[in-house]
Chain A
Amino acid sequence: MTFRGLSNRPWRDRALAAPVAWIPPEGDVPARWLTVSEWHGRIGAWQRYLIDTPNLSGRWRLYEPDPVEFSAALIAIWERGDHVILPADNQPETLRSLSNMGVALGQTAPTSESEHESSRPLVSQPPQWSSRPLPGIAVSLYTSGSSGEPQRLDKRFDQLDAELATQASLWPLEANLIVSQVSHQHIYGLLFSILRPLCESSPFAAQPCRYPETLRTWLQSCQNEGLRMILVSAPPALSRLPETPGWAPVSAALDTIYSSGAPLSRDASDQVYACLETPVHEVYGSSETGGIGWRVQQRGSTWTPFPDVEVDQDADSRLWLRSRHLESPDQWQRQADLIMLMDEGFELLGRADRIVKIGGKRVSLTAMDRALAELPGVERAQTLTLQRRDLRLAAVIQLDPEALPHDHSQHRETVKQLRRALAARFEMPVLPRYWRFVSRWPTNAQGKLSADIRQRLFQDLDDRRAPRWLGEFADEDGWHVMLEVPERCVYFDGHFDDHPVLPGITLVHWAMQQARRLFALKADFAGLERLRFPQPLLPGDRFELTLLHRKDASDHGEAGESLRIDCDSRRGKHVSGRVALVIRQEGGEIVDVE
């Protein structure tokens, strides 16, 4: 397959019967192809939609998880010569901060009364190709904010094309099927799962592949159809790949695995290799820099720079880059990462030292993290400053499950021991004051402990009504959210002064809040149903909320939805049962349990 850059508009003149996207099998319905002709119909539909949507700014804010609709919308915007902005996610906070950046398209929860929840055209129609030039900026993306507030980054077509051409020459797709487990709202997913297939005329899966069970079914289907799959993945998915049932019967259909967003641990890399018999190609880079280098850990930990990327190091071991993927292709640019140049490639040594001042004393957070990670029971540690409490450090500590504190006194004891161990090397005022003990490293979908995750971990400091959030994950039982009862929680007020307990109704309220965020609930609390509160929670208790959202249960006649709530701690059950939900009426009053 030949490569044609985006500047040549490779979407226009493909054979109309050629496959663009693979619609995966569902139940008894086998997989099928979406053709160029059908896809062009979607581009035409979006073009019509954009014409009919008032927008004086020429800017469009696109959040669309469906790869076919996303690619069609992107091309429709480019063909108009307009500016496309890709929000990193569709969290209310993200959307609010971008609300003045053009008109929202795709799956965007409403940020104001006038915006709709889904802005997507229905009727396909032939596309219109005009001679209008492509916009100067191909896309504006946002960084994941792993080192501060999310930043906007503009990418020109020549930057993207340089990177896409490099990858096409290094790893040609050769008409294999691209299956993605990452979001194309970020640079890595955008390049690997959408733009590369466009430029190399390779098909991509019409849906994202979120779960390992889906991956297995799709691999089986590929095997039956004689297709080979290229998996675009990331550490959160790869490091949680179940070993059983074995992958051997289907792994032959897998051609290549890519991973990016954060380094994959050597253990996880080996485990994936053992399960899927396919090495993971890790790509190192960032939204700012684009791709810098790659490696396959079974061949060594050294990173090989991409062919058109020049890498150097200075006296402080800081990485310097010159590349056509950067905004200024001729300039050397210093980066925040530390490297060591090797005969072939480079080793990544981590981020440059993070120095902060606490109470007038300089402290290296890098050194603090290292010291914490060496302590018994500590699997991973990261210290940080909190925006509103820059006088004091906070720490996120992943502990051995055996070492996790489950109540107030265990928590105090754990903190005491960690502080005592650190006191040998650091002065008292710089020791972390706020501690969050987690059982698995809390990250966003890109595998980063990003600014919004940090905010969630410490939200209870600023909001006395919030529980202490310590991470979450989903499985077939629903969402599991790890929480602690903050000692200074406002809901204890007015209860028995000597023996404060958390009212059961507060737990239901917290469960509703978490459910609204996790399931984007549009329904409201309608009533308790078979809800039991066997025993109360105490200040400092660590507990797990298990939430399962059901749409079908319709005991209440009209539009029935329900939320199954279970709350467990080391001491036993605290809540179990169901909450009935009703769809919120337009302009209706929002009922809540306070």
Chain B
Amino acid sequence: MATTALEHELKEMIIETLELEDVTPDDIDPEEPLFVEGLGLDSIDALELGLALQKRYGITLESEAESSRQHFANLKSLAALVESRRQK
């Protein structure tokens, strides 16, 4: 399973932003869900991540919950979002 440079960058951003003390980049499977059953992130984390994406890549998320949820499904979809919409 090859991880792209962007995926690795995002893994580190998630760990740093959310202060996941016991998670290493290797623990994040790009295909596994980030929220609830996978990495175990929750609604507060979603807000934090949105903020971090804006700061780091200049991405503004739509207010619609449904489309945000799709972007945050797993690391691959998050990477795709950053790839297509990054301003920085």
Binding site for B on A (CB under 8 A): 359, 389, 391-392, 408, 411-412, 415-416, 419, 427-429, 431, 433-435, 460-461, 486-488, 539-540
Sample of 10 further A-B pairs with CB below 8 A, known A391-B44, A431-B42, A540-B22: A412-B22, A416-B40, A429-B44, A434-B21, A435-B22, A460-B21, A461-B19, A487-B22, A487-B23, A540-B24
Q: Distance in Å from the Cβ of A507 to the closest Cβ of chain B?
A: 20
- Minimal Cβ-Cβ distance residue in B for A411: B22
Interface contacts (Cβ under 8 Å), in number, total 41
- Cα–Cα, bound, A415→B21 (Å): 12
User: Quick check: A428 and B36 within 8 Å, CB to CB?
Assistant: yes
Contact of A359 among B21, B36, B44 (CB under 8 A): B44
User: Quick check: A408 and B24 within 8 Å, CB to CB?
Assistant: yes
Residue interface bits B18-39, CB-to-A below 8 A is 1, else 0? 0111111001000000001000
Number of B residues, CB within 8 Å of A: 13
Q: Distance in Å from the Cβ of B67 to the closest Cβ of chain A?
A: 21
- The answer to the question of B84 belonging to the interface, with a C-beta cut-off of 8 Å to chain A, is no
Main SS of chain B's interface residues? loop
- Cα–Cα, bound, A419→B39 (Å): 11
Q: Distance in Å from the Cβ of B33 to the closest Cβ of chain A?
A: 13
- Cα–Cα, bound, A435→B22 (Å): 9
- Minimal Cβ-Cβ distance residue in A for B25: A497
User: Quick check: A415 and B44 within 8 Å, CB to CB?
Assistant: no
- Minimal Cβ-Cβ distance residue in A for B8: A497
Q: Which residues of B contact A460 (CB under 8 A)?
A: 21
Q: Distance in Å from the Cβ of A496 to the closest Cβ of chain B?
A: 13
Contact of B40 among A391, A419, A435, A539 (CB under 8 A): A419
- The answer to the question of B63 belonging to the interface, with a C-beta cut-off of 8 Å to chain A, is no
Can you report 19 A-B residue pairs in the complex whose CB atoms are below 8 A from each other? A389-B19, A392-B19, A412-B23, A412-B27, A419-B40, A427-B42, A428-B40, A428-B42, A433-B19, A433-B20, A433-B21, A461-B21, A486-B21, A487-B21, A487-B22, A487-B23, A487-B24, A488-B21, A539-B24
Interface residues of B in 33-60 (CB under 8 A from A): 36, 40, 42-44
User: Quick check: A428 and B43 within 8 Å, CB to CB?
Assistant: yes
- The answer to the question of B10 belonging to the interface, with a C-beta cut-off of 8 Å to chain A, is no
